[in-house]
Structure 1
Amino acid sequence: MAQSEFVLRGVSTLVLWASVLSVLLTGWHPGYAIIIPVVGGIALWEFFGALHHKGLRTFRKSASAGGVFYLLVSWWLLSDRDRAAYHPTFELVCLLAFLLGVLSRQVFDRSQSTPVVTMGVTLLGMLYVPWLLNFVTRIAYHPRAEGHGHSLILYLLLVTKITDIGAYLTGRVFGKHKLLPEVSPKKTWEGFFGGLAFAVIASTLLVWALPGQLGMLQRPWTPLLALALAVVSVVGDLAESVVKRDTNVKDSGHIFPGIGGALDLVDSVLFTAPVLYL
């Protein structure tokens, strides 16, 4: 059973990576405009679905639609240098809209016994998924990237994913000491440090192989950057595990065989993207 799940996970990962690489290495702008809002919208829908499974009510439909709109318009603004000047204002307006929209929505919905909880978890979902995911778009069109934003995204995804793969393989072979058994019983300290090592190696090889495209990353500091990304990648994975464990769901969805849902796919990226952006 474990081997079958591993094979499914491997096949799904290969298909997904082939799709991502095709978007990054060829006419990636329109593809990117589709992928990020769609994945973000599905991931947010899954997050709210997990809460509903626990019996918590959210403003699932309106919040998910707002999240997709936010990601799509953000891409439209950032993808053009002239329009990008308006993005900070747009960001502020959206954050205010998230807050005021949820509060206003609750005013007209008096059928709930826990309105404060509903507003709180709805706002948490909008900040957790679309707002954090939007840092991927910020990196892709960062002025300092000088047209190589797609290479930065490639670096982000590879280091994040290889941390996960390294932790899984190392933990499977050498894992003995549990990391946080009350949150994720399968994760071990051996896997954690193995993931860190894999991340540093992957980062070093990428910067060496793509010196022109990743020139904005200062080579002497890339091992430390990789370590930071690897640590927050694990924290991001554990953060979703907390949600799944509390809501008693195994996977956020079933879109990707062997992996789970869209939220399972991007949980670590939601944490690593802001760190790389900063």
Structure 2
Amino acid sequence: MHAPREPLDDAIADFSHRRVDVDGVVKTVRVAGSGPAVVLMPEMPGISPDVLRLARWVRDAGFTVYLPSLFGVDGARPTVEGGERVVRRACVSAEFRAFAGGGTSPVVVWLRGLARQAHAECGGPGVGAVGLCFTGNFALTMAIEPAVIAPVVNHPSLPLDDPAGLEMSDEDARAVQERVARDGLKVLAYRFDDDRWCTGQRFAAYRALLGDAFDGRVLPGSSARTDPNPFFRDVVRTPHSVVTAHLVDEAGHPTVRARDEILAFLANRLRRPGSSEGDRLGE
């Protein structure tokens, strides 16, 4: 007999629950809103209330948000014990490449398929992809899929053992560079200046790969929320999640401005026909 599951902190009642099949691989995706599609990937240790808050902001800004369940318990407030368990499982999973030398995480192939399906359902010039923490770099490698035209890379933490690594195969790195040269792809990114999981070395590596197409924005760590959930307080232990766990929801706060810049970037790239390639970043 199974022990009863702990109550979820967020019932996610305002999102539809789908089972999405991409080439025979089926995953749960939470979907809400209308308008152009944005694939928002969760951060460790899963689709937390903080991630759902961001998803609702994206939805309320006029987008259809697709939130794939990649790890953890959907809706649960991150705890130390539960979060550490999820991280351990993900680090040995065949779907992820958590350490240097592994190349692109295989789950990105599934995410590209989700982006194609989302574009077919929602129309418009293309799809946004927003990665967070463990999935941060996925937003960039998803952009090999032509439907993805608005990648946002938030505090990417992989590979965990190489602060200058990009969690990307050489082949995918060349393909991303080709998209930048051919289509004028732009990449928006965020980190805190004293984040030990996403360092300045990583942003420098992105800049070396993408040149001026990479818009890496750095916030002072002193602006991060000082009382995040237990997982971020006791396990992450550094300013890290700019627009989720460490966001301070006050008008004019640097983290709220970052959120608004992301929403403007998505609007700039996804809403106007013909604006998907080569436009100035939203401000």
TM-score where L is the length of structure 2: 0.28
Structure number with the higher helix fraction is 1
**Per chain length, whose mean CA-contact separation is higher, i.e. which structure has more relative contact order (CA < 8 Å, sep 6+)?**
1
Structure number with the higher strand fraction is 2
